A and B are shown apart, each in its own frame.
Chain A
């Protein structure tokens, strides 16, 4: 009975060891896509690894049993100690305590590069099977070692060692052949990211150890009376287990508490967050609606679902359009275009000769941006997880083309005056306001008018107690780090406007722990 319980505990302890750095490393090392290079080599390496692990297990636990035998162990006192250790280890395992003492060593990584993989695997197997040459993931290893010594039975020690070695080998030979495939990746992810699995294994170790202790405790007389070699035969042994931004040009605040700028000629307009639009024409005054727009000498605003275009001097309406669900809009001498949600752009001729029609729809998880319009050319952004683009749609012909595109940057909220394109480019290292022609080309060829810190905040590039990497760089000087925004908040460059002498951009600021977002419109000389 005891031999089976001990073997089960040793097997569980070995399997638990797969969660060690070396256990993970072995799967990588023996994988067909790895150093093995092909499945056949992987299978041979798995065989040698198993043989090595079994040999290592026998060496350790058989050797410890021999040591115990040599020291005259195997008596009642030793068995009681072994049982007590098994109980202690079981408690430690059940509570998931950190393993102490720990062996902070690893197998040499270079073997897999300099030796034939099957040979390296065999040697790795020996080291892992030995149990105490690398990280220990369960108290069961220590407890089983103590039990081996206490019982002083080499045969039982050998069985323990074989079971432990088998446990160490099993996960590796099960996972290595499929590593790199979908099943292998899923198994790896589960091992690495689901602590519950390891906790479950340690719970199993605890049960096995408790069973060992119970068996030993139930047969103290046998353990006391039997000679070391006979103890195993009578099934009375014990086991244990347990395991800031530098601007390209100076920006000034054109309007505080403002967003969604618009510019045309000498006119400038903006939106008060949560309030109405404002027009600056010498002095600043409120408009009778939201989402102000400026073009072709007119001002526009939206009141509920109705867009009104008017004379900026008198605010006398010159046209009106129904835009159910509409948000930000743009107009030219020929068209009116409005955004519905962040997913649809709807257009209608200024003369209302035809009803409104959807001209652009966001695909899944994409967002369409605020429209910009010059004549019949509609410019807008498409942004999402697959990258972002600035697109130009000819509303008369329906032809659409990409003006700018980047996969790992956000290109946002273009403005367009018919000759030049202004937009925000946001990456992990910088946010920029760029200006360029309305033709397809790389964003980096456009003129950078303004730059500031990225929205995301980088770290120091090294962990605490370490220093930035310098080795290998010319003069030991690594590239400069990107500017870093202050902690606890984020800054985002957002909507733009293109005036005759200045470019405008909304700066959004959000502080963690505070509701809402504040905004200001910055002006940058063109």
Chain B
């Protein structure tokens, strides 16, 4: 019990740290942070329940007023803004990533690719696009067009997430709870 509680807390903090520390810039200048990589790692390392809880904790405290979202954003305004769907999608994405990870029993690398794609891309962009379409009063196709530039960055993160999870599994297999 103690271990789960602490893991949820530290992984929520990891999502926050990854939103600030390493910054990548894609070839055509779209800046991306590792924040959604943190969401995917919650799922692939902690599994569905703990991973989802960590992402939920992160989002709840961000909405409560901690400026932890990449770019130093936070607060209740996020719920009325165009990115509302992505905010709500974070815990869903972590949960789905973990859920898939626990069920696809190939090697860790392949499973992580599949899981983080299903969770971190599919399960994140569905609520994300719906939220954007509603707030901006646009059809879903147009809303998807607006965020499509970020899909490439997230696909890069799916690949990184796979290799990171594999590296963690090689170093300390007992720590990858989705496989325990």
Query: Are A and B interaction partners?
Result: no
Contact surface of A with B, Cβ cutoff 8 Å: none
